[in-house]
Chain A
Amino acid sequence: MYKNLRWKTLTIVAVLAVFFTIGVYPLLAERFHLPNPDWVKANHLKLGLDLKGGVQLQLRVNTDDALRITSTGVSEQLRDSLKTAGINVGAITVPTPQTFRVEGVPPDRDAAFRTAADEVSSTQYDRNPLPNGLYEFRLKPIVERDIRDQAVDQTIQTIDRRVNELGVTEPSISRQSNGEEVLIQLPGVTDVAHAKEIIGKTAQLEFKLVEAGPNASKEDLLKQYNGQLPGDMEVVPGSSERGGGGEPVYYVVRKIAPVTGQDLRAAKPGLDENNQPAVHFELKSQGAPKFGKLSGENIGRYLAIVLDNRVISAPRLDGRITDQGRISGGFTAESANDLALTLRSGALPASLTSLSESVVGPTLGADSIRAGVTASIVGLLLILMFMLIYYKLSGLNAIVALVANLVILIGLMAYLGATMTLPGIAGFVLTMGVGVDSNVLIFERIKEEIAAQRGVRAAINAGFSRVFLTLLDTHVASLIAAAFLFQFGTGPIRGFATTLSVGLFVNLFTSIFVSKTIFELELSKRQMPALSI
């Protein structure tokens, strides 16, 4: 038995040493400026926004946008191939994000139309014939779900790149459980407006040929087309002065953009020929020939640079451009920098809606952490004092178990990369409560056994073994509750549930294994006629 005891003691000391090193030591080192090597810091306990200060944004990805882009794209493709096949149809429209319609399919070309349509759309769309040569194409439910899902994934990736470009340390961008919501946490950031602008900019860059305009009046423009724009053209707003100043004007441009932001390889802020801030870009290898073709075939025409459905500028094409270009449009140095950043990180596949935002200033966070830590320490000290008074020497045993619990808990949380929030601190306090309860249960039982005239050793053994089942039941029941908290809770509540669950596991180890080993150690050292309890 004593040999066994040595191993038990060694295990406990080793476990404590490991968790102290990865959890508690980095905190102390930071506070008291002790040496803090990187391998120790790697897994330090992160502070949540409520403690560290920062911005939290909750956004919804409007995935309908992504569906509409797909429907528009496929319908334009169909328009193109119908033209090539010489099939004349009426209007092609996108009435809802999931559908597009083709009107006036001539009855004699019906079969040819269907073949052409299926070639373009049958993998993604179901074709439904309606009366009078009308066809409706509806996105297949599986495809729709995929597109929505990808839109959210892409949004998260894009935001992640943008946030990294901003230089935020330890950002967290996560998908909320209902799928279309994204929670963004930016520790240390306090300028919400700028953060929102960078994150929320769709940054859909398109190069489209100008057919008519600019003109200050939309009606005048439409008059050139007898009030009815051809199906492959659209009106896009802009402004008479570059960069958004001046009067609103309108352009008629081609709907199809031969080159888009996806063809860009790099973008950086720079200056244009008038020494005004501008954005320089380079094209990817597959983008360069597309841009070369577009610019080479349309020399002398105007090319609209459209960002998020607004014309930034519409320069004249003076020659063939292949691998690089420049966007100038009355930027300031900062807005050129921001645009280059968003272009580099790619466009968002859908627009975003803000659901909630919160900012915790660094001073408020510091107040909270001071308060939380003070409360925890005061609570812990009160508990320890009581244990020592009420259980005398055995109280020391409980104190060791409790402190071990705390050390392992902090170490494990750091190792798991958990984030410490205010409710997380509350979780620590509750864990202490559960830890004390375990010790009280065991000690009270030992007292009862001693009162029943058992020897010290027998009483201790009986105490631990009888209480073990109780502890198992209470811990499992609490874990069940914590699991549901984690499942359905959001941010702070999850932090609480994590702390509590980890704490419950640790507590089983400390209050049973550690505490019992200490009793055994005492028993092995000397004969004990009576226990100080």
Chain B
Amino acid sequence: MHIFKNPNFDFVRWKWQAIGLSWLIILAGAGYIWKNGLPRGVEFSGGTIVILKFDRAPDLDRIRTALPGGGADAIVQSYGDPASNQAMVRVHSAGAEAGASLSSTADAVVAALNRAGMPISSSMCTAQHPLNCITGREIVGPTVGKELERRGLLATVFALAGILLYIAFRFQFSFAVGAVVATIHDLLITLAFLAFFRYEMSLNVIAALLTITGYSMNDTIVIYDRIRENMRSMRRDNLATIVNAAVNQMLDRTMITGGLTMLSVIALYFFGGEVLKGFAFTMIVGIITGTYSSVFIAAAIVLIWQGRAPAKAAPAAPAATSKAGKRARAS
């Protein structure tokens, strides 16, 4: 069984259009983030989250107005499966870090609801007392977020540098550049979509972004590997032909792997519960752009980069052919 019967698409021809489209999305995303900001999860921004379970569907507006300050500073939304009657209250402040007062904001939320006639126990839900209680609480002081952001950024930069070195060592430098550009491209596009759909940057979303780094790299390397192999077997052809052949030969595999990973991530999106939703959404976007970039961007960068390199002595044969041949022999 095949998805494509002997595919022979000229992917390379579309490289400038593809790069243009990517820039369009990235710039739109950057503009959107610049204008509206990227919503940050409580782990990064600091603040207080209280998840409450009621005995009936919670009236979110009533909760909001009951909060200290009329809820101007708060986000109140229903949480998880609507039938579970849960609501999440997020306040952008936490108590002072010193002593035991970190939880004072959370306690104030519960006290305010009680005053407004919504009896909520201040203790956690248990099997014996499953209703009108707290199912979860998260309080993050202001100093933690900065450290997390720094570490997340460091992890990404080092991971990319490590992979750049590895690919440069295993393939050629132009391949490494292509792979890293494609990966950064995927991260930027995913960030743009996260911003468009107002997903919060949480630790889970960061984990997904880093997974995309790995996935996109994986996809790119598979195609590079084929290009490397073709460079040996197709010495007569120019690099554009070799790249096109490789992408086409791997097309079935690219679609199947992308599709199957997509299936499991979609399952995660629909069945994985509230906590994994951001993770799953990020992965869905990342897999689409990761597949797209390894076909249209990563290989194109190699072509563009090598096209720029000064043609070395190439008697007799047309320039492009000899260049590809030379590279092939060198690798």
Contacts and interface: CB of A to CB of B under 8 A. Distances in A.
Interface in B238-281: 249-250, 252-253, 256-257, 259-261, 263-268, 270-273, 275-276, 279
Contacts, number: 245
Nearest to B81: A367
Interface in A443-485: 444, 447-448, 466, 469-470, 473-474, 476-478, 480-485
Interface stretch (B16-24, B65-73, B95-103, B323-331): B95-103
Contact of A480 (B2, B80, B159): B159
Interface in B140-166: 140-141, 143-144, 147-148, 151-152, 154-155, 158-159, 162-163, 166
B264 A356 contact: no
Nearest to A482: B214
Contacts of A196: 100
A200 B103 CA distance: 14
A356 B144 contact: yes
A490 to B, nearest CB: 7
Given A190-B126, A358-B136, A372-B272, A470 B158 contact: no
A484 B158 CA distance: 7
B264 A379 contact: yes
A484 B155 contact: yes
B203 A426 contact: no
Interface stretch (A96-104, A146-154, A427-435): A427-435
B125 A382 contact: no
B127 interface: yes
B203 A430 contact: no
B159 A363 contact: no
B263 A363 contact: no
Contacts of B249: 448
B135 interface: yes
Nearest to A191: B123
B204 A492 contact: yes
Interface in B38-75: 43, 51, 53
A489 interface: yes
A487 B263 contact: no
B260 A361 contact: no
B217 interface: yes
B302 to A, nearest CB: 15
Question: Which of A178, A200, A436, A470 lies at the interface centre, i.e. has the most chain B CB atoms within 10 A of its CB?
Answer: A470
B263 A382 contact: yes
A18 B218 CA distance: 31
A356 B276 contact: no
Contacts of B215: 430, 433
26 contacts: A192-B103, A196-B100, A354-B98, A354-B102, A357-B102, A357-B139, A361-B135, A362-B124, A362-B126, A370-B273, A372-B273, A390-B1, A426-B204, A426-B268, A426-B276, A429-B267, A440-B253, A444-B252, A470-B222, A470-B225, A470-B226, A478-B218, A485-B159, A489-B151, A493-B203, A496-B211
